[in-house]
Amino acid sequence: MAKMNFGGVEENVMTREEFPLEKAREILKDETIAVIGYGVQGPGQSLNLRDNGFNVIVGQREGKTFEKAKADGWIPGKTLFSIDEACQKASIIMCLLSDAAVMSVWPKIKQYLTAGKALYFSHGFAITWNDRTGCVPPADIDVIMVAPKGSGTSLRTMFLEGRGLNSSYAVYQDYTGKAMDRTLALGIGIGSGYMFETTFQREATSDLTGERGSLMGAIQGLLLAQYEVLREHGHSPSEAFNETVEELTQSLMPLFAKNGMDWMYANCSTTAQRGALDWFPRFHDAVKPVLEWLYLSVKTGNEAQISIDSNSKPDYRDGLEKELKALRESEMWQTAVTVRKLRPENN
Q: Report whether 240 contacts 227 (CB < 8 A).
A: yes
What is each CA distance from 24 to 49, 95, 204, in whole angstroms?
A: 11, 20, 26
**How far, rounded to the nearest angstrom, does the alpha carbon of residue 128 sit from its chain's CA centroid?**
17
Can you say whether the dihedral through the CA atoms of 28, 159, 199, 58 is positive or negative?
negative
Contact 131, 105 (CB under 8 A): no
Distance CA(45)–CA(93), nearest Å, equals 13
- Give the residue among 39, 33, 96 at the shortest CA–CA distance from 63: 39
Residue 284 annotated in active site: no
CA distance 3 to 64: 45
Distance CA 255, CA 266 (A): 10
Active site residues: 123
